Amino acid sequence: MSEVIMLAEKAREAAGRLAITSSGQRNRALLAMSHALTHHQESILEANTRDMDAARAKNVGASLLDRLELSPARLKSMSEALRALSLLPDPVGEVVEGYTMPNGIRLSKIRVPLGVVGMIYEARPNVTADAAGLCIKTGNAVVLRGGSLSVNSNITLANVLSNAATAAGMPEGCIQIIESTDREAAEELMGLHGLIDVLIPRGGAGLIRSVVENAKVPVIETGVGNCHIYIHSEADADMARKIVINAKVQRPGVCNAAESLLVDEDVYERVLPAILKELESAGVAIVADEATRSLGAVMRIEAATEEDWGTEYLDMKISVKVVKGLDEAIRHINTYGTKHSEAIVTNDYMAAQRFLNEIDAAAVYVNASTRFTDGGEFGLGAEIGISTQKLHARGPMGLTALTSTKYIAYGSGQIRE
Amino acid sequence: MSEVIMLAEKAREAAGRLAITSSGQRNRALLAMSHALTHHQESILEANTRDMDAARAKNVGASLLDRLELSPARLKSMSEALRALSLLPDPVGEVVEGYTMPNGIRLSKIRVPLGVVGMIYEARPNVTADAAGLCIKTGNAVVLRGGSLSVNSNITLANVLSNAATAAGMPEGCIQIIESTDREAAEELMGLHGLIDVLIPRGGAGLIRSVVENAKVPVIETGVGNCHIYIHSEADADMARKIVINAKVQRPGVCNAAESLLVDEDVYERVLPAILKELESAGVAIVADEATRSLGAVMRIEAATEEDWGTEYLDMKISVKVVKGLDEAIRHINTYGTKHSEAIVTNDYMAAQRFLNEIDAAAVYVNASTRFTDGGEFGLGAEIGISTQKLHARGPMGLTALTSTKYIAYGSGQIRE
């Protein structure tokens, strides 16, 4: 039996026992895990140093190095996140609905853990602690498979957290990490139908696509966001400018940042120049259609290609296009968007309603930045990712996204006529 | 472009327009579809006769022929089911939850259609009408792919329903049927990531397995039910007997019928003989472990093999096993069950609670027949299948299982700090 199957079978056994732990027991385990991160700070940072050295030797870029690096301050914030999780209400056990059947059977639909959650993710080692915490909170076992750059950090973190959780009464095997970072190990994990209840990939578009293509277990697609801001002809120009700058510049490397700007042809000559200038002075590279380029508002605007309309830059870059009006804007977004977050700026009531109704995305905004699509902002308390699919969960996924339901029925001898 | 991709793209376009139809419009379309089934009875029955003739020429068995056959009475009941659907409350548009963010953005999570639903199913032509109706009710476009035996019935039904729906104002292409019954066509449908939002297979274990293995689009697994009745040592013997007979005999060909009986070793000598005799006289074939066979209660009990414990017979056959007690029963069910419906018969409070907590299945019963796991019985009004997976929907799936959600946000210029 392969290492991956062995880990998954241990996780499945642990899941059976986890499902009958109490909320109080699980919260105590989260506190122990929180404590362990600071208690074992030295070994975790030592493992991280090995990862950082190896990454530098591979000439990994600065932004990736930054995501990879752990520090006492970052460990403290990971530790605090686990403590905060212990204080959130527990969705497991909630009676979602109930009904007494005409024959007297009392039926309840109750929230239960999913079972075994698989996580496949890239460089950031904090995902290891986040995912382990969210899974323990919701009574799920977890099988982690992180990227190769953070392999030492991930293994050390997972061992520290797993030991703390089991010492606090959680079943052996509840937090598993696949040490191999070979592609084969990930593919094996994706194929474990019957052992893995859901697989959540977190990372770039390539990783997500590979998981969706190859998995035989249920997958929740997350996080690819080719988000648009659409400035309608009835937009307040100043509001539009502030929203575009915020959505693009405030944190360009995240999935809810704007990647593309659409402007109605009635107003682009009046509205766009100030926005383009502010984008340029913020250091944003601009690619655009002919109409925008002919404005000559800023020094250099390259021509946008067909590929640009479908690209999530995750960087200080934006594509700009003039559209005929609402219909073209909606069509463009539903064609090139990734169903993540989309915004219209307008003071026209009917245009706002049509945009909300007709745009097919997890979150649709009128007169606000797309940057708000986030578990914390949406009041979910914690987030395991942002679903861009429609099945099971859509948009920011909080604790309930890690649960399923089960019907329980109290009878007194009823049989079906 | 292949036929399957063309159909799916038409369905996707229709889905965009369907999503903005009103509940009233969709209910009127359902009434038109209901009417069309009786109005076009002649051509539907003529197509069905061709299917029946071809099936008889292939020496198809009697029970399959029965599932394949349409009659004026069966068409009438399909027509009435569509009318009943039009009267059910519409889940689409429901505000699931809402929240005003600290910055004043008003956020609502609303129920929306899934988009394009793919259905892959076997012989029963009534699934064509059921699926089309459920999808139109919930604002989804549907791509149907039925089995080869009922191909003429399915194509005629789909065309009648599609014409009626579009004549009543639904968008062109909202009900599509793949005419080819080749395996390649089905596999192509399973691969249409981005065009199909969910694929629901309905049929035997082989079909379900093939879809789960091959699909690159999200799948909801349905309907395989290796269901158990467990007679605990504290069971009322008479209640146990009635529940076993009902769960096995009342309708053996359905997924919520019992396939396996477990009995505590403390009571099997007292409880089993009467049950075995009644099963035998009802015509049920019995396979069992040594303890049961040594009872000599009935004429012929074959030895159960390891394979029997995992088999859904869907027939007048049951496997019987004596277990040491609750722990072994739970372990056996969680090992061999298909997470569908499971029942304990007991008067012991703690045993009942442990069974409800520890059995991992969509529906878990105390002192009632497993035969109740059904959308109608559970008060859902209509059912598109019974999910045996944990993601998105579990147990009988009503109209809400055909929906997703979307966050809509009303701002007034908010940007993220």
ipTM of the complex: 0.93
Helices (H), A302-346: 306-309, 326-336
Whole-angstrom Cα distance, residue B213 to residue B194? 18
Confidence of residue A135 (pLDDT cuts 50, 70, 90): very high
3-state DSSP helix/strand/coil % of chain A, to nearest 5: 45, 20, 35
Instruction: Render the burial of A162-193: b for 16+ CB within 10 Å, e for the rest.
Output: bebbbebebbebbbbbbeeeeeebbebbbbbb
C-alpha–C-alpha distance, residues A117 and A197, integer Å: 6
Taking all residues of chain A, what is their mean pLDDT, rounded to a whole number?
95
Contact A407 B378 (CB under 8 A): yes
- Contacts of A398 by beta carbon, 8 Å cutoff, 6+ apart: A375, A378, A380, A381, A382, A383, A384
Residues of B with Cβ-Cβ distance to A352 under 8 angstroms: 410
Interchain proximity A411–B363, CB inside 8 Å: no
Closest among B295, B290, B265, B266 to B280, alpha carbons compared: B295
- Does residue B213 have a pLDDT over 90? no
User: What does the pLDDT read at residue A203?
Assistant: 82
CA distance A332 to chain B (A): 13
CB contact under 8 A, A250 and B415: yes
A263 vs B296, higher pLDDT: A263
Per-residue pLDDT tens over the stretch A140-159: 999 999 999 999 999 999 99
Residues of chain A contacting residue B250, judged by C-beta atoms under 8 Å apart: 415-416
Is residue A89 less than 8 Å (CB to CB) from chain B?
A: no
Each residue of A319-360: pLDDT tens digit? 999 999 999 999 999 999 999 999 999 999 999 999 999 999
Using alpha carbons, select from A17, A227, A244, A210 the residue that is nearest to residue A113.
A17
Q: Does A365 touch chain B (CB under 8 A)?
A: yes
The pLDDT value recorded for residue A116 is 97
Enumerate residues 6+ apart whose C-beta is below 8 A from B365: A105, A409, A411, B341, B342, B343, B344, B372
Summarize the confidence of residues A305-316 as an average pLDDT.
96
Topology adopted by domain B3-221+389-410: Aldehyde Dehydrogenase; Chain A, domain 1 (3.40.605)
Identify the H or E element spanning A101: none
Q: What residues of chain A, 325 to 344, have a C-beta less than 8 Å from chain B? A: 334
What is the nearest CA distance from B27 to chain A, expressed in angstroms?
20
Contact A198 B390 (CB under 8 A): yes
Cα-Cα-Cα-Cα dihedral of B164, B170, B174, B175, to 10°?
A: -20
Mean pLDDT (chain B) is 95
- Class for domain B227-372, per CATH? alpha beta
> Which of B360, B312, B344, B230 lies closest to A13, judged by CA?
B360
Q: What is the pLDDT of residue B296?
A: 85
- Residue B208 above 90 pLDDT? no
* String of DSSP letters for B274-309: HHHHHHHHTT-EEEE-HHHHTT--SS--EEPPHHHH
Express each pLDDT in A16-45 by its tens digit. Answer: 999 999 999 999 999 999 999 999 999 999
Amino acid type, B80: E
* Mean pLDDT (whole number) for A231-255: 96
Is B242 in CB contact (< 8 Å) with chain A? yes
Q: How many CB pairs under 8 A join A and B?
A: 201
List all residues of chain B from 122 to 181 with a beta carbon under 8 Å from chain A: none
**Where is mean pLDDT largest: A120-129, A199-208, A235-244, B53-62?**
A235-244
* Dihedral sign (CA A160, A161, A163, A164): positive
Interface check B274 vs A, CB under 8 A: no
The chain B residue lying nearest A256, using CA atoms, is B416
pLDDT digits (tens, 9 = 90+) for B305-320: 999 999 999 999 999 9
Q: At what angle do helices A349-358 and A326-336 cross, to 10 degrees?
A: 20
Q: Which residue of B has its CA nearest to A337?
A: B194
Beta carbons of A371 and B413 less than 8 Å apart: no
Judged by CB atoms within 8 Å, which residues 275-334 of B form the interface with A?
334
pLDDT at B62: 87
Mean pLDDT (whole number) for B223-227: 91
The CA distance from B390 to B20, in Å, is 30
Could you say which residues from 176 to 205 on chain B have a Cβ atom under 8 Å away from some Cβ of chain A?
Answer: 193, 197-198
Measured in angstroms, the CA of B226 and the nearest CA of chain A are apart by: 15
What residue type is A269 in one-letter code?
A: E
Span A266-291, average pLDDT: 97
**Cβ pair B8, B160 in contact under 8 A:** no
- The pLDDT assigned to B30 comes to 98
Q: Confirm or reject contact between A394 and chain B (CB < 8 A).
A: yes
Q: Which pLDDT belongs to residue B177?
A: 97
Candidate from A115, A364, A367 with C-beta closest to B413 = A367
- Give residue limits of the domains in chain A: 3-221+389-410, 227-372
Q: Give B258-316 pLDDT, tens digit per residue.
A: 999 999 999 999 999 999 999 999 999 999 999 999 998 888 899 999 999 999 999 99
Query: Which residues in chain A have Cβ-Cβ distances shorter than 8 Å to B363?
Result: 406-409
Strand pairing class (B317-323; B285-288): parallel
The three-class DSSP label of residue A198 is strand
Ramachandran category for residue A393: left, alpha or beta (phi over 0 → left; psi -120 to 50 → alpha): beta
Say whether A379 and B242 touch across the interface (CB within 8 A).
Answer: no
DSSP code for B170: P
- A411 versus A123: the higher-pLDDT residue is A411
Token pair listed for A266: 């009635």
Query: Distance between CA atoms of A282 and B126, rounded to whole angstroms?
Result: 61
Is the pLDDT reported for residue A63 higher than 90?
no
Backbone angles phi, psi at A340, to 5 degrees: -100, -85
Contact A390 B197 (CB under 8 A): yes
**CA dihedral of B141, B145, B150, B151, whole degrees rounded to 10:** 90
- In eight-state DSSP terms, residue B231 is E
Using pLDDT thresholds of 50, 70 and 90, give the confidence band for residue A1.
confident
Q: Residue A410 to residues A19, A295, B363, B366: CA-CA distances in angstroms?
A: 20, 71, 11, 5
A373, B212: Cβ pair inside 8 Å? no
- At residue B194, does pLDDT exceed 90? no
Strand ranges, E, within A20-94: none
pTM (2 d.p.): 0.92
Give the C-alpha separation, B374 to A47, whole Å: 53
Contact A139, A218 (CB under 8 A): no
On chain A, the residues whose CB falls within 8 A of the CB of B379 are 99, 101
Per-window interface: A 20-79 vs B, CB < 8 A: 20
Contacts of A21 in chain B (CB under 8 A): none
Nearest to A404 among B357, B390, B406 (CB): B390
B379 and A103 Cβ atoms separated by less than 8 Å: no
Q: What is the 8-class DSSP label of residue B89? A: P
Question: How do beta strands A198-202 and B116-121 pair?
Answer: unpaired
Tell whether the model's pLDDT for residue B175 goes beyond 90. yes
Amino acid identity at A377:
E
Model confidence over B344-371: pLDDT tens digits?
999 999 999 999 999 999 999 999 999 9
Tell me how close the Cα of B64 comes to any Cα of chain A, in angstroms.
24
Give the nearest partner residue to A391 out of B236, B373, B391, using CB atoms.
Answer: B391
User: How many CB atoms are located within 10 Å of the residue A200 CB?
Assistant: 27
Q: Which residues of A touch B101 (CB under 8 A)?
A: 372, 377-379
Where is mean pLDDT largest: A31-35, A58-62, A67-71? A31-35
Chain B residues within 8 A of A245 when measuring between CB atoms: 415
Q: What is the pLDDT of residue A276?
A: 97
From the list A99, A334, A365, the residue facing B16 with the nearest CB is A334
Closest CA to B206 of B360, B117, B314, B132: B314
Q: Which residue in B360, B377, B408 is closest to A356 by CB distance?
A: B408
* Residues of A in Cβ contact (< 8 Å) with B369: 414-416
* Closest-CA residue of chain B to A251: B416
Contact B94, B406 (CB under 8 A): no
Contacts of B178 (CB under 8 A, 6+ apart): B3, B4, B7, B143, B144, B145, B185, B186, B189
Angle in degrees, CA B216, B217, B218, rounded to 5: 125
Strand ranges for B242-384 from DSSP E = 258-264, 285-288, 302-303, 317-323, 341-345, 363-368
Return the structure tokens found at B276: 């075995």
First to last CA, chain A: 48
> What are the tokens at A157?
């973190």
Report pLDDT for B206.
Answer: 85
Taking the C-alpha atoms of residue B235 and residue B231, their distance in angstroms, rounded to an integer, is 6
> Over 90: is that where the pLDDT of B222 sits?
no
| B416: contact with A, CB 8 A cutoff | yes
Q: Do B360 and A20 touch (CB under 8 A)?
A: no
**Nearest in space to A396 (alpha carbons), one of A417, A372, A360:** A372
